[in-house]
Amino acid sequence: STPDLKNVLLPRDSLSRFLRIAKVNTSRNRETCGLLLGRAEGRKYVVTTLLIPKQHSTSDTCTMDEEELVLQFTEERGLITLGWIHTHPTQSCFMSSVDLHTHSGFQCMLPESFAVVCAPQSNPNFGIFRLTDPPGLQTILECRAKEAFHPHPDLPIYTDADKGHVQMRELALEIVDIR
C-alpha cells in the first residue's frame, strides 16, 4: 500500500458492467473508454459514476471527443475524475505507451488517479494501474517521443493499484452514456 495516498473505493461490478457496454466495440476489435467519477468522503474517495463519453477508437487507441460535455457533467454534479477505464479488445492487460501518457495527465491532477485496463481475451482479464512516483510519472512527463507507440526506459514505470490504494467494494454505480 502507498501510505501517502487516500484509498479509492471502486464498485466491484464496474468492470463487468463496463465490458457489457463495450461489447459491440470489442466484437469489432475497437477500444472503448470511460471515466470513473466520484467524490471525496473523509479520508477516502468513492467512485459513484461510470461516464461513457463521446469517443472514437481503433483496435489500439481510444480518444474522448467533446471533452467540454464531460467537464459540464462533472461540474454540474460536483464529481471529480478519479480514474479511467478502457478495453484492449485483443491484446493482453498492460499499459501501452499511449496509455501511460494519457494517464500521466490524470495522475498530475490527482495523485490517487488510476487506470483500469479490461482485456477480455486475456488472463488476467483486467488490471488496475498507476504510474510509480518516482520514477514513472517523471519519466513519462519528460518523454518527448513524437510517435504514438514508443519504448520507455527499462524502469518500473507503472504498478498495480489494486494491491494498494484502490479497493473493490459492494457499492452502487450509476452509469451514464453520453455517446
Range of the domain at 118: 7-177
Distance of alpha carbon 26 from alpha carbon 37, whole angstroms: 23
**Domain membership flag for residue 73:** yes
Q: Return the pLDDT at 108.
A: 96
Question: Which H/E stretch holds residue 38?
Answer: strand 33-41
Q: Return the pLDDT at 163.
A: 79
Q: Return the pLDDT at 3.
A: 60
**Domain membership flag for residue 63:** yes
Average pLDDT value over all residues in the chain: 95
**Domain membership flag for residue 163:** yes
* CATH code for the domain of 162: 3.40.140.10
**Domain membership flag for residue 131:** yes
Domain count, the chain: 1
pLDDT per position as a tens digit, 100-109: 999 999 999 9
Query: At a CB cut-off of 8 Å and minimum separation 6, what does 35 contact?
Result: 50, 51, 53, 70, 81, 83, 84, 85
**Domain membership flag for residue 1:** no
Among 135, 83, 134, CA closest to 110: 83
pLDDT per position as a tens digit, 38-94: 999 999 999 999 999 999 999 999 999 999 999 999 999 999 999 999 999 999 999
Phi/psi at 112 (5° precision): -80, -10
pTM above threshold 0.85: yes
